Chains A and B, each alone.
Chain A
Amino acid sequence: MTALRPQRAHNPPPKPRAGGLARARRNEAAALVIPALIPVVLLSVIPLLIGIGMAFTDSTLARNHETSFVGLQNFINLGSDSLFWQSFGIGIIWSVSVTVLQFLGGLSLALLLNSDLKFKGLTRLLALMPWAMPPVVVAIMWQMIYSPTNGPLNWLIGTLGGPERINWLGDFSLALPAVILVGVWVGMPQNTITLLAGLQQVPAELSEAAAVDGAGAWSRFKHVTFPAIKPVIISITSLSFIWNFNSFGIVYVMTEGGPGGRTMLPMLFTYLEAFKSRHTGSAAAMGDVIVLFLIVILVAYLWRQLRGERIPK
């Protein structure tokens, strides 16, 4: 994410003098950079380009299939594929709510861990726990927690006198909120740790000075802490949004897109298209659409956020 680099004003590089020394240096630099670029090009750039290109072909997984160029046909078909756009809408609801809740939860936890509590080390370790688990394990664990017939959650609600036998993952209106909760639970540690690191960079003197001037806790946060950690907030929320929009494992294991397609995220849909229906061409087109959409959203978001930080030249 090069766009996330803090924009500093720097002097324009001096114009190279037409001398042997400068050229030798340039070649030296190139010779040092190229070996490092080879794996990047071979393992990331080329597959990415092949993947993008595949969307313009009728590629399938059939044996000895003669792939041919079909232009924009896949995208045209996708335009009228209501099922895909339905899953796209679910994907937006999922990623926006998970990202926002993750951020709010992570920030609250980070502020708490940043204050002088007892057992600070232990609580920080505990906050990391969900991060240490593989997504599939998390999903299976939550599936058990949510189990309508013998899950601990329903037992707890039942003993507290609540309604009996709530069908968390099988009810049309509850399934998406239930998986969103798990998504938040899994992603909070990343947000917490990143924000905590940001909070620890904020000089304590600033808060103290504001306190001396009579600022309350809220206005100290608003005018001192928040501006200081704003770049961290921007980077972690945008990264979270990308991860969440492309998340697959947790929902796939918990609901497989059900009930009634209520949790069919775009990535799940693309997976079915590529590996169950075996149409790799149209699945690549779906992937391209998702990437384009993410780029547009992020550019708009970062543009607004970072514009104010430019130091006028």
Chain B
Amino acid sequence: MKLHRTVAVATMAVVSLSLAACSAGGTPAQSEGPVEIKFQSFSDQPAAIAATEEIVAAWNKDHADSQIKLIQAPSDSLDDKLTTQFAGEVAPDIIHYEIQGIAPFARDGYIADLSSLLSQKTLDDIEPGVLDSVTLDGKIVGAPTELQTYVVFANKGLLESAGVSIPTGDSMSWDTFAEIAKASTTPEVHGAAWGLKSPTAAFLSLGLGFDGTFFGTGKDVSLTVGEKEMEVPNRVRAMIDAGSLDPIGVTQSSSDVLATFYGGKAAMTVQGSYQIANVAADAPADMDWIVLPPLEGSAGIAQAATPQTLSINIDSAVQKQAAEFIDYFMQTDNLVKMNTADGLIPTTTSARAAIAEQNAGVNGWDAILASAAGLKGPTFLGADGYVRWKDTVATPGFQKFLGKEIDGARLATDLEAGWAQVNK
């Protein structure tokens, strides 16, 4: 039958075409001359979108032969989008993401090593702890642009009416935080509210303040959940048990908890520092809010650096030009512009100094910049299987622990056993 043959031929053609598209290759031939560079950004704050557009427009005006084409990506399903883009080999040249999200793609070989692409000037300006966080297996997988820390916002009026002396200085110990929360708890108001619907990132980050590293280093990463690692979860659970931390808040997202804080139902709330932009805009006009000094554990005010990143697609034919644009993006004024728009903390020494100067005296910024002093590169980014462990073991485990379903000993064994199972 003729038809059969036609179908067979058509199928063969499709199969061979797709096979041809999947041929293995190293770095593709690099283009010279006028090029177009696709830059995919996921910024969703109007101010940040405007800042990105400004930076791109300024670059395009001065560089006629390497034009940036800005592509807007969704921020909430970015992971799915990138997965399909990379699998279908249509990923953009420059990818804006954050280190925890880009790490699995880097491990799967889709991301170019920036160590030799970026200028030495750019690399030298990046804070050491931050540079550490974007270095996987000796490769720099993204240029860090903006980052957040966890800080405590407080309703000054509620603290004062509870007769609490408001902490000042360079840090606030966890014990002090728990005492203040206890003192400002009334039948109507919880001392603190913390949106821990996705608790893993916060616990792993703040755990560094007690030297709780969770993961070892090296190829076959081990996971140990000992006393140091359990410090932060135990302290949070103790505050829930004492009635000073809102038990409903720990099952909500951080923005849900902000509503509780605005409503005067919580004296303090632990949030990502980027919320300062939202608090400044949305808090009731009569609320006197402040940012308390950074939380300090036995090992100081250390937290995990998990910056937003600009990475280059390893299959891009314009890597050199893309890296030149990233160098430009990383310049002090541009980083200050972006971080101001997002309410985030710059990643380079010079931009951090510039933003401190710019925001001198602005409510809360001193404390937020102080909290960035202890940022370290976390070990979990190097752990293959971290994502699955986080989604299927750690997050449910921490939720059960905070919901008083299991005790600390059980949580520690569950986390370790889960890690073993994920890495079978």
Contact = CB atoms under 8 A, between A and B. Distances in A.
B3 A170 contact: no
B39 interface: no
B228 to A, nearest CB: 24
A147 interface: yes
Contacts of B405: 172, 260
Given A149-B256, A277-B387, A63 B3 contact: no
Nearest to A148: B248
Chain A interface size range? 35 or more
Contacts of A38: 7
B392 A167 contact: no
Interface stretch (B80-88, B122-130, B217-225): B80-88
A295 interface: no
Nearest to A279: B388
B214 to A, nearest CB: 18
Contact of A258 (B87, B260, B396): B396
Contacts of A220: none
A212 B308 CA distance: 77
A147 to B, nearest CB: 7
Nearest to B260: A149
Interface in B47-67: none
Nearest to B265: A149
Interface in A149-190: 149-150, 165, 167, 169-172
A259 B399 contact: yes
Interface stretch (B103-111, B290-298, B339-347, B362-370): B103-111
A148 B259 CA distance: 12
Interface string A258-276: 1111001000010011011
Interface string A294-313: 00000000000000000000
Interface in A123-154: 147-150
Interface string A45-61: 01000000000000011
Interface in B76-113: 79-80, 83, 86-87, 104, 107-110
B284 to A, nearest CB: 15
Contacts of B108: 60-63, 65, 278
Contacts of B399: 258-261
Interface string A77-90: 10011110000000
Given A34-B3, A64-B109, A149-B260, A261 B421 contact: no
Contact of A149 (B259, B395, B403, B424): B259
Contacts of A260: 396-397, 399-400, 403, 405
Nearest to A60: B108
A217 interface: no
Given A83-B392, A172-B400, A277-B385, A63 B248 contact: no
A261 B395 CA distance: 8
B391 interface: yes
Contacts of A42: 11
A63 B109 contact: yes
Interface string A17-44: 0000000000000110010001001100
Contacts of B3: 31, 34
A261 B3 CA distance: 52
Contacts of B314: 63
Q: Which of A41, A64, A171, A172 has the most CB atoms of chain B within a 10 A radius of its CB?
A: A64
Interface of B: 1, 3, 7, 11, 22, 24-25, 79-80, 83, 86-87, 104, 107-110, 197, 247-248, 250-252, 256, 259-260, 263, 265, 314-315, 385, 387-388, 391-393, 395-397, 399-400, 403, 405, 418, 421, 424
Top 3 nearest A-B pairs (CB, nearest first) are A170-B251, A261-B396, A62-B108
Given A63-B108, A77-B424, A170-B248, 10 more contacts: A30-B1, A65-B108, A150-B259, A167-B251, A172-B400, A276-B387, A277-B385, A277-B388, A277-B391, A278-B104
